[in-house]
Amino acid sequence: MELETVSTNRSHGGKQGVYRHASLETGTPMTFSVFVPDHKEGVRLPVLWYLSGLTCTHANVTEKGEFREACARHGIIFVAPDTSPRGDDVPDDEAYDFGKGAGFYVDATQEPWARHYRMRSYIERELPEVVAHHFPADMARQGITGHSMGGHGALTLALRNADRFRSVSAFSPIVSPLECAWGVKALTRYLGEDRAGWRQYDACALIEDGCRVADILVDQGTADGFLEEQLKTHLLVDACEKAGQPATVRMQEGYDHSYYFISTFMAEHVGWHAARLRA
């Protein structure tokens, strides 16, 4: 549980920190950021997890997400992990959509990826224990959100752990990795050829297979260049409608895939989670 403080900054009446620890799951050092609003001594605050997308680290949302004012106002801790293991000994790929920066929030079973690429277990089990130990987090009140590959991670983690996450939202998520090139490439190389084993990492498949959460909020830009070929938002809409899974999917006119889009709607998402994370 030893934690190294990389940096801290005062912001919006709270502390924005970046931290590093030795992960047993990935076998590497892992860096993550945490924003903790000012609060009364002894008070424990709800936690909102944010999972980033392809090529990103914790730094993208920490520097560009514009979440701190809303988190300070609602009294929410904001945790942003990395997207994959890092280090010279970690296998990688030349393509941007696989390897480092593209862990897809799975536990890899195929070599050479299986040793280090265990982002599912890292996010589901190990990092929550670290956060609970070092920060004033109320782990009975957790929400999760994410962007693109991280939106896929947020949806699938919440659907698999509905007893843990009271709320889930996403920005331009990959809703069905089984049905897009990004997902097929990643799941084949991390997990092997058996597509039945992929279903636990596909939000639409999980909903089809009976997983449920109280509600889902998704924002998707209509000018997103990845919408038609990779994100396929309509598949999530169809799966939720067929299963009776409550979901609000908002197509935001003219917005793209960038943090200009995410930061525009971030405060709304924080507020939406806050309403569901109140005691």
**DSSP codes of every residue in 231-245:** I-HHHHHHHHHHHT-
User: If you average pLDDT over residues 197-203, what whole number do you get?
Assistant: 98
| Structure confidence at residue 1 as a pLDDT band (50, 70, 90) | confident
Q: Which two tokens stand for residue 236?
A: 């999530």
Which of the following is catalytic: 23, 148, 172, 176?
148
Residue with tokens 């920066």: 101
Q: What is the pLDDT of residue 146?
A: 98
- Mean pLDDT to the nearest integer, 21-37: 98
Overall average pLDDT of the 26-44 stretch = 97
- Percent of the chain exceeding pLDDT 70 equals 100
- The dihedral sign for the CA sequence 161, 258, 231, 81: negative
Backbone torsions φ then ψ of 233, nearest 5 degrees: -55, -35
User: Is residue 148 annotated as part of the catalytic site, yes or no?
Assistant: yes
- Check if 219 is active-site: no
- The pLDDT score that the predictor gives to residue 61 is 98
Q: Which residues contact 149 (CB under 8 A, 6 or more apart)?
A: 51, 52, 53, 54, 83, 102, 104, 105, 174, 182
- Non-local (6+) Cβ contacts of 91 within 8 A are 99, 112, 113, 116
Torsion of CA 95, 100, 103, 109, to 10 degrees: 90
Q: Stretch 201-217: mean pLDDT, rounded? A: 98
Q: Which of 49, 67, 255, 30 shows the shortest CA–CA distance to 135? A: 49
For the segment 71-84, the average pLDDT, to the nearest whole number, is 98
Report residue 22 as tokens.
Answer: 């030795």
Looking at 58, 202, 224, 273, which residue is catalytic?
Answer: 224
Give the model's confidence band at 152: pLDDT under 50 very low, under 70 low, under 90 confident, else very high: very high
CA 209/CA 211 separation, integer angstroms: 6
pLDDT at 279 over 80: no
Question: Are the C-beta atoms of residues 279 and 247 closer than 8 Å to each other?
Answer: no
How far apart, in whole angstroms, are the C-alpha atoms of residue 55 and residue 277? Answer: 30
Distance CA 128, CA 131 (A): 5
How far apart (Å, rounded) are the C-alpha atoms in residues 25 and 46? 25
**pLDDT of residue 186 exceeding 80:** yes
Q: Are 72 and 15 in contact (CB under 8 A)?
A: no
pLDDT band at 12 (very low <50, low <70, confident <90, very high): very high
**Which residues, including other chains, have CB under 8 Å from residue 61's CB and lie 6 or more apart?**
33, 50, 52, 67, 80, 147, 259, 262
Q: Report the C-alpha gap between 165 and 181 in whole angstroms.
A: 29
